[in-house]
Amino acid sequence: MKQKKKWYDFLWIVSLSYLILGFFNILFAWLGLLCFFIPLIIAIAGGNKAYCNKFCGRGQLFSLIGGRFGLSRKKDIPKWLKSAWFRYGFLIFFFVMFFMMLWNTYLVFAGTKDLNTAVTLLWTFRLPWRWAYHGTLFSDGVAQFAFGFYSVMLTSTVLGLFTMVLCKPRSWCVYCPMGTMTQLICKAKHVTSSRKK
Amino acid sequence: MIKRKAAVSIRECAACGCCMKICPKRAITIHKGIYANVNKDLCVGCGLCAKECPASIITLEVTEQ
Ligand code: SF4
Ligand code: SF4
Ligand code: SF4
């Protein structure tokens, strides 16, 4: 009855490694751009959500920990969490925070601000992360971006784990900004074809 | 004969594909990255997808056949 496992069913290992590498050298955080651009490229070029449906290691990680290992109450998520206004609102909020992070990086690049070797969790809590900083390449800004991007990734993982435990394993996928964005792109792409139906 | 088939609330669907992955009959596809589409001919009404869906928007509807 079970569907056969494919190579991409193991991409959760990549996601897990990414999170772990960030504890050793923050510059690895740059690799995270892959799970930013790949889904966008698939959605824009292919017009589908194959990334979510097949390749996303984070979603797999949640279904593994919450599903296989049972670390989840498996309860329905609250209604507001799946409402359109929350999903789109969260996407916008995420974008605003993302651009603030980019702006911060720019300031460090420009030399107006000093490098801050902290990881900001949930946009509020500054965790000292100096141990993972072993110098940078080219400019302090390169490291600043790594800290900023890793903050984004860690924050979304923590939020995802939180809702995984409280609700269903992959609850994060309901309000995941990448998921919402790729779905929006697909909707936009198929506006004409779906109108015909 | 009365049968139960999975029905998706399309408007609320996040197109995450969890339901597609779990379905033993491969009855679900993600339509153009927008919503989950159930092939009623393949669906046997086991309810696995309804359990798996993180948004809990799949219900089993009774259909006469
Ligand atoms: S919704 Fe987000 S976490 Fe879930 S599969 Fe898609 S990109 Fe991954
Ligand atoms: S009820 Fe069972 S057979 Fe029907 S779509 Fe859901 S998982 Fe597949
Ligand atoms: S699991 Fe639920 S939200 Fe995800 S694609 Fe299926 S019906 Fe839609």
A residues 125-184 closer than 8 Å to B (CB): 167-174, 176, 179-180, 182-183
Read off the pLDDT of residues A39-56 as tens digits, 9 standing for 90 and up.
Answer: 999 999 999 999 999 999
The domain spans of chain B are 2-64
If you ran DSSP here, which 8-state letter would residue A1 be given? -
User: Within an 8 Å CB–CB cutoff, is residue A53 touching chain B?
Assistant: yes
Residue of A2, A49, A174 with shortest CB distance to B55: A174
Q: Which CATH class is domain B2-64?
A: alpha beta
Beta-carbon separation of B55 and A77 below 8 A: yes
Whether this prediction's pTM lies above 0.80 is answered by yes
For residue B31, give Cα distances in angstroms to B14, B17, B39: 11, 10, 11
CB under 8 Å to A78, separation ≥6 — which residues?
A167
Reported ipTM: the value is 0.91
CB under 8 Å to B43, separation ≥6 — which residues?
B5, B6, B23, B25, B27
Orientation angle between helical segments A34-41 and A177-189, nearest 10 degrees: 20
pLDDT for residue B65? 59
Phi, psi torsion values for A2, nearest 5 degrees: -75, 140
Q: Is the pLDDT of residue A194 over 80?
A: no
Look up residue A8 and give its two tokens: 């991409």
Q: How far is CA A171 from the centre of its chain?
A: 14
Q: Is the pLDDT of residue B35 over 90?
A: yes
**What is the pLDDT of chain B when averaged over all its residues?**
93
Beta-carbon separation of A54 and B17 below 8 A: yes
